[in-house]
């Protein structure tokens, strides 16, 4: 740019005179000087001032420009400015092309930027999980050459370094965000595998930020030995917590996808309890996912009726074992008017596929019956068996529909699951009185496992439900009375939740600045000596002077308010919240109610309780499970672990830029979960 000749802010003639006396002075040729201003200090040294953030860096002839380029890589102001300029240039180009009606003159307004293009290339690699070697692909080279001949393709090492800089810049930004959090965070552990016999531990942080938005960030993606013990895994988690400086902010841990989860939880309790930062002394630290609990319960139930399931599976395998048998079955479908859709066979390790198999088989019952009368080799199910299959399908349908519902919740706050889980609990109790012996046997076994595994998670979800203004204590009271009857047991369990809620609230009240200010006021209001002295001084003053000022009247009002308030018991915001009527519910799914927006609006009204809501509602009580595990692709499996962590974490963090609109939608496709994977480009 022409102004680069005048970076010291001097007159052109003076500058020319200076250059004539300094033969070593030369033009600033590097493109980096488009973003810096070079100035000379009084001592004769030179500094480079960033045009975007105004930071001062050295600009001596020996220092080069590498450190300036590195600064631009982490300067968010620079990135935003360049992005805006690029968008403006694109809009101008489109406008000019439209005016020229297809003529070539519109390209003159476009200004190519090599550095910005390199950043876009690195961001593309990170976002979509492309291998670094893509820059050596002939098709990719040809595409770039034809698209922009001015672009100089970077080397493998430079591209990798650019991607790592994106990771480091995003890491520092996230570390700053977590440092400013006023709430607690919850952690979940997920295990991944590579195809070279290496396992990875994915540590994810869940929280509701200061603006009451639900957030989920991957903090670490670390290699672990395949035979690692619970102690070794817990050490890796502890190290990550310390690295991110969140070891005093942890609210809960979800370890369902982690080997030795109980051992890991106990080791982490040993580390966190001495810090004194855990609520309820860590009794609510280890929680379980709803999906995990439900999956274990259903799997236990299916094992109890495995004989019936195997009969249905054998029937379907018989039909699909040959083309001739399948053709005969299709004839049966036409004869009886059964649905025109394929019959499926399940994956035994996936209970949802087993449910779909049983449900589909029921739809083809008449076709199987017709096949039995026309195929002597086929071993049919008896009418009793078909009755049992239908009863089992109806029982499992509740679990299946719950899993489908949970998986579609956009903002999975912890308040959304208590009512449905209590409904399932009530269903199991009712099923124990079924007319079908097989249902009674299955329901009793599932109920025992359900109550055994519910534990801490039920308490967390109950408190989360209480923090839902549409239900408060009413959900807990209603369902517990239904589940346990109008008995002492029901009242005891309701009272236990109420006491735990109050205890937890008191812990928050003690650490809140709001509680401290209230305490100061109460102490002041109860100080009779100060009030007496004030009264004496006012009285003495009135004796000496008959003039009464407005401030005298105001002091009298303040004293009266203090005397009245000291004789009244102050209500906590928890008491006020529970005493008030529930928020009216509107028709529609539970998740359509924006509970975070409600608490954001009412945080000032319930200052202590809103702190609890921040932490409790952010606990991830419904993380979906992948029965087959998560597997890295061939490219990442052969990449060094440090680079794998950088790519996985950076990809996850850049989703925020896409969702916020900081990246052009036509440049980067949004990342969406595919086959249950959170970062699909890295999955198998």
Dist CA 139 CA 125 (whole Å)? 16
The predicted model gives 606-620 an average pLDDT of 94
Q: Are 439 and 392 in contact (CB under 8 A)?
A: yes
Asked whether the predicted pLDDT for residue 443 surpasses 80, the reply is yes
Q: Who wins on pLDDT, 601 or 670?
A: 601
pLDDT-based confidence at residue 121 (cuts at 50, 70, 90): very high
Dist CA 556 CA 553 (whole Å)? 5
Across 29-38, 577-586, 606-615, least confident range: 29-38
According to the model, what pLDDT value does residue 175 have?
94
Percent of the chain with pLDDT over 70: 77
The predicted model gives 105-117 an average pLDDT of 72
Could you write out the three-class secondary structure of 641-663? Answer: HHHHHHHHHHHHHHHHHHHHCCC
Dump pLDDT digits (tens) for 141-191: 999 999 888 999 999 899 999 999 999 999 999 999 999 998 999 999 988
Percent of the chain with pLDDT over 90: 49
Whether pTM > 0.85 for this model: the answer is: no
Dump pLDDT digits (tens) for 539-551: 344 444 455 566 6
Dump pLDDT digits (tens) for 220-249: 999 987 667 888 899 999 999 999 999 999
According to the model, what pLDDT value does residue 599 have?
96
Please name which of 422, 526, 431 lies closest in space to residue 478, comparing C-alpha atoms. Answer: 422
pLDDT-based confidence at residue 661 (cuts at 50, 70, 90): low
Identify the helix (H) or strand (E) that includes residue 191.
strand 185-193
Asked whether the predicted pLDDT for residue 256 surpasses 80, the reply is yes
Q: Who wins on pLDDT, 115 or 673?
A: 115
pLDDT-based confidence at residue 647 (cuts at 50, 70, 90): very high
What is the pairing mode between strands 250-257 and 286-287? parallel
Dist CA 417 CA 411 (whole Å)? 12
pLDDT-based confidence at residue 623 (cuts at 50, 70, 90): confident
The predicted model gives 437-465 an average pLDDT of 91
Helices vs. strands in the chain: H and E counts, helices first: 26, 9
pLDDT-based confidence at residue 323 (cuts at 50, 70, 90): very high
Identify the helix (H) or strand (E) that includes residue 201.
strand 199-208
Work out the burial of residue 545: count CB atoms within 10 Å of its CB; fewer than 13 is exposed, 13-18 middle, 19 or more buried.
exposed
* Mean pLDDT score of the chain: 81
Asked whether the predicted pLDDT for residue 102 surpasses 60, the reply is no
What is the pairing mode between strands 46-50 and 36-40? antiparallel
Instruction: Name 295's Cβ contacts closer than 8 Å, sequence gap at least 6.
Output: 351, 625, 627
Asked whether the predicted pLDDT for residue 491 surpasses 80, the reply is yes
According to the model, what pLDDT value does residue 471 have?
95
Asked whether the predicted pLDDT for residue 673 surpasses 70, the reply is no
According to the model, what pLDDT value does residue 562 have?
67
Dist CA 223 CA 669 (whole Å)? 29
């Amino acid at each position: 740019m022409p102004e680069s000749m005048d970076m010291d802010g001097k007159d052109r003639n003076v500058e020319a005179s200076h250059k004539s006396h300094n033969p070593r002075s030369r033009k600033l040729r590097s493109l980096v000087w488009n973003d810096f201003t070079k100035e000379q200090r009084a001592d004769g040294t030179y500094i480079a001032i960033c045009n975007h953030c105004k930071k001062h860096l050295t600009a001596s002839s020996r220092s080069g420009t590498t450190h300036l380029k590195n600064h631009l890589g982490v300067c968010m102001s620079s990135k935003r400015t360049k992005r805006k300029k690029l968008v403006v240039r694109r809009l101008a180009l489109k406008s000019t092309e439209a005016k020229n009606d297809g003529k070539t003159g519109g390209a003159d307004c476009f200004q190519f930027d090599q550095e910005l293009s390199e950043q876009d290339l690195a961001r593309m690699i990170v976002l979509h999980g492309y291998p670094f070697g893509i820059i050596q692909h002939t098709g990719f080279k040809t595409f770039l050459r034809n698209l922009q001949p001015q672009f100089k393709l970077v080397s493998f090492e430079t591209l990798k370094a650019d991607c790592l800089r994106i990771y480091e810049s995003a890491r520092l930004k996230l570390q700053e965000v977590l440092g400013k959090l006023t709430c607690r965070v919850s952690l979940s552990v997920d295990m991944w595998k590579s195809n070279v016999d290496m396992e990875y531990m994915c540590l994810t942080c869940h929280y509701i930020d200061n603006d009451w938005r639900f957030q989920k960030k991957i903090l670490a993606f670390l290699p672990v030995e395949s035979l690692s013990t619970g102690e070794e895994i817990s050490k890796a988690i502890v190290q990550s917590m310390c690295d991110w400086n969140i070891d005093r902010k942890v609210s809960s841990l979800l370890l369902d996808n982690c080997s030795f989860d109980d051992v890991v939880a106990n080791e982490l309790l040993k580390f966190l309890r001495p810090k004194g930062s855990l609520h309820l002394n860590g009794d609510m630290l280890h929680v379980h996912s709803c999906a995990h609990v439900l999956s274990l319960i259903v799997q236990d139930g299916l094992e109890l009726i495995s004989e019936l399931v195997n009969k249905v599976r054998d029937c379907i395998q018989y039909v699909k074992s040959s083309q001739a048998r399948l053709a005969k079955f299709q004839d049966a479908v036409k004869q009886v008017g059964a649905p025109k859709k394929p019959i499926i066979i399940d994956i035994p390790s996936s209970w949802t596929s087993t449910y779909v198999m049983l449900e589909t088989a029921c739809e083809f019952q008449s076709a199987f019956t017709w096949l039995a009368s026309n195929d002597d080799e086929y071993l049919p199910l008896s009418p009793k068996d078909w009755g049992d299959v239908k009863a089992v399908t109806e029982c499992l349908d509740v679990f299946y529909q719950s899993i489908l519902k949970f998986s579609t919740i956009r903002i999975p706050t912890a308040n959304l699951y208590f009512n449905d889980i209590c409904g399932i609990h009530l269903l199991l109790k009712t099923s124990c009185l079924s007319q079908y012996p097989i249902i009674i046997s299955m329901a009793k076994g599932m109920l025992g496992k359900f109550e055994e595994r519910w534990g801490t998670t039920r308490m967390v979800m109950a408190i989360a439900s209480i923090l839902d203004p549409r239900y408060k204590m009413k959900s807990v009271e209603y369902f517990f009375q239904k589940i346990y009857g109008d008995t002492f047991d029901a009242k005891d369990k309701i009272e236990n939740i109420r006491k735990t809620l109050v205890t937890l609230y008191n812990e928050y009240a003690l650490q809140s600045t709001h509680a401290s200010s209230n305490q100061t006021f109460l102490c002041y209001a109860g100080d009779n000596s100060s009030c007496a002295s004030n009264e004496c001084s006012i009285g003495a003053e009135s004796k000496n002077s008959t003039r009464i000022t407005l401030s005298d009247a105001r002091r009298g009002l303040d004293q009266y308010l203090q005397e009245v308030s000291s004789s009244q018991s102050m209500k906590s915001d928890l008491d006020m919240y529970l005493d008030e009527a529930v928020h009216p519910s509107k028709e529609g799914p539970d998740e359509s109610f924006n509970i975070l927006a409600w608490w954001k609006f009412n945080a000032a009204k319930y200052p202590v309780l809103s702190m609890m809501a921040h932490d409790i509602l952010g606990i991830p009580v419904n993380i979906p499970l992948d029965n087959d595990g998560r597997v890295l692709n061939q490219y990442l499996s052969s990449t060094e672990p440090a680079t794998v962590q950088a790519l996985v974490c950076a990809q996850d963090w850049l989703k925020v830029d896409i969702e916020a609109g900081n990246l052009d939608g036509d440049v980067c496709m949004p990342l969406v979960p595919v086959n249950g994977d959170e970062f699909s480009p890295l999955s198998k």
